[in-house]
Amino acid sequence: MTTAAPERLTRIREIIAENIDVDLERLSDTALFIDELGADSLKLIDVLSALEMEYSIVIDMNELPKMVNVEATYEVAATAAGW
Amino acid sequence: MSNATAVPRAALPPDTPVITGWSAVSPYGIGREAFTAGVRAGAKTAVMADAAYGTLPSPEVCTVPGFDVQELLGKRGTAKMDRLTALTLVASDGLLRDADGEPAVTTDDLTGVVLGITMGSLENVTDFLRQSYTNERPFYVDAGRIPFGSLNHAAGATAIRHGLKGPNTTVAGGRAAGLLALNYARRLLGQGRATRYVAGSAEEFSAAHAWYEATAAQPGDPAPLLGEGCGLFLLEPAGTAGRPPLAAVLSIETRVDIDDDPCATADACARRALERAGVTADDVWAAVPSAAPSDAGRAEYEALAALVPAEALRRVPSMELLGDTSAAAASFQIAAVLSVAAADPDSRGRAALVTAVDRDGAVAAAVLRLLGEDA
């Protein structure tokens, strides 16, 4: 599990960048999607559904408010996937 | 042939809707100049389809050359944008912005948008459905594409891009959509619901569209040569028009061919449109049928050939050159007649008849008074 984590984080970053419409370079692990990167809740749903598809997981909609930055989004995906 | 004298602009009743600008993204290229040059030259636009489309029912297509969505509209918000919306937004930029990207047209809170379409972005909808059917679970779909799947997305996105807060409408009408949209705009202007309108129609080419059209073609007809693009017009009442009018919209008539006799329906529709415009068939300077590759399209041509002078039908090159552009067709027909008229001073004050037929029975006809491009 631990060896795959960096690759997963890289891929999750790509998915987030594509779905909230920011350049990958601007996407630090702690930058806030809505307050700092101009995303909105609709785009976060896109992120959620893209993560579900990528990893064949199901993420509870109630987890959406927790997905505030890359770090937190990774944690939400990790919990859903049991990584 | 009577030579109608030019109608001075001042003679137009102030509530007459006039076209004061237009723009086209077409198989001739991006922008009005490319369209005008292509039409005047009568150039063909068919090319071998890009391999990226995969297997197609017909190897040739009339796509918009050099249409790179992200290059034209930027990266932001375009990653999942459907082609129909992109074609419409680029056409709207051509209509409403100058070469530097600054607003070129005064708009207000009552500037409306009406766009004629067939079924929106068929590719977006079919791809989305395919994901739902073939992925591991039915809800493993690209949610980011959902907004682009709604029929009215292109019209809404156009209004948002340019801050147009007036009535926003999408009219689904197949090959008649361009005239239906123009009629809608004309009606709302007449009712005072809008002060000016961005009105037109659009169609995108995609593999899904090509297979749909090939399947829907009549038995015995080959897979049609398909085109795409978007034509937009600025429509304003003559009395408050901010720019010199290029043409007045004198009448628009619509019919549904319920007797399976498209020739008779097109004839009745065109005659009624002429009558309402106060124009005789002999006074028609240019007549532009849709040239749709169907029995309805062939019947439409027959109806016009029997109605207007032969030279009127030859004035504007056949729309076949652009392929079957479906919902975009009628807007391209109007743009084509404006392109030809602008180069011919004899057109000034004369009438143009533009007709549309759809295989589903929709028939429409518009009569324009050509006013020239004087400053």
pLDDT digits (tens, 9 = 90+) for B147-173: 998 999 999 999 999 999 999 999 999
User: B366, B367, B371, B369: which is closest to B181 by C-alpha?
Assistant: B366
Whether the per-residue pLDDT at B373 is higher than 80: the answer is no
Q: What is the ipTM of this complex?
A: 0.86
pLDDT above 70: percentage of residues in chain B: 97
What does the pLDDT read at residue A1? 47
Whether the per-residue pLDDT at B2 is higher than 50: the answer is no
A45 interfacial to chain B (CB closer than 8 Å) = yes
Q: What is the CA radius of gyration of chain B?
A: 20
What does the pLDDT read at residue B9? 53
A15 interfacial to chain B (CB closer than 8 Å) = no
CA of B260: how far to CAs of B174, B205, B296, in Å?
17, 29, 9
Instruction: Please report, for chain A, the start and end positions of each structural domain, with discontinuous segments joined by +.
Output: 5-81
Q: How far apart are CA B198 and CA B110, in angstroms?
A: 11
Using alpha carbons only, give the angle B220, B222, B225 rounded to the nearest 5 degrees: 150
| Beta carbons of A49 and B143 less than 8 Å apart | yes
Q: How far apart are CA B201 and CA B334, in angstroms?
A: 11
Q: How far apart are CA B113 and CA B327, in angstroms?
A: 16
pLDDT digits (tens, 9 = 90+) for B39-83: 999 999 999 999 999 999 999 999 999 999 999 999 888 989 999
| Beta carbons of B141 and A43 less than 8 Å apart | no
Which residues does B39 contact at the CB level (< 8 Å), separation at least 6?
B28, B316, B317, B335, B336, B339, B340
Q: What's the token pair of residue B131?
A: 């994901």
Contacts of B77 in chain A (CB under 8 A): 21
- Closest CB to B79 among A21, A42, A58: A21
pLDDT digits (tens, 9 = 90+) for B348-372: 999 999 999 998 899 999 999 999 8
pLDDT digits (tens, 9 = 90+) for B167-213: 999 999 999 999 999 999 999 999 999 999 999 999 999 999 999 99
Residue B149 C-alpha, separation from nearest chain A C-alpha, in angstroms: 14
> Across residues B139-148, what is the average pLDDT?
92
Residues forming a β-bridge with B287: B353
Q: How far apart are CA B360 and CA B290, in angstroms?
A: 14
- Closest CB to A45 among B77, B136, B143: B143
| Beta carbons of A43 and B144 less than 8 Å apart | yes
Q: How far apart are CA B262 and CA B241, in angstroms?
A: 37
CB B324 within 8 A of CB B226: yes
What kind of fold does domain A5-81 have according to CATH? 1.10.1200
- Please state whether the predicted TM-score (pTM) of the whole model is above 0.90: yes
What domains appear along chain B, each with residue ranges and CATH number? 17-240 (3.40.47.10), 247-370 (3.40.47.10)
Q: How far apart are CA B113 and CA B238, in angstroms?
A: 18
What does the pLDDT read at residue B3? 43
Residues forming a β-bridge with B217: none
pLDDT band at B137 (very low <50, low <70, confident <90, very high): very high
What does the pLDDT read at residue B217? 87
Which residues does A28 contact at the CB level (< 8 Å), separation at least 6?
A70
What does the pLDDT read at residue B221? 84
pLDDT band at B6 (very low <50, low <70, confident <90, very high): very low
pLDDT digits (tens, 9 = 90+) for A14-57: 999 999 999 999 899 999 999 999 999 999 999 999 999 999 99
Phi, psi of B58 (to 5 degrees): -135, 130
| Beta carbons of A50 and B142 less than 8 Å apart | yes
> Across residues B247-259, what is the average pLDDT?
97
Q: How far apart are CA B231 and CA B302, in angstroms?
A: 26
| Beta carbons of A46 and B144 less than 8 Å apart | yes
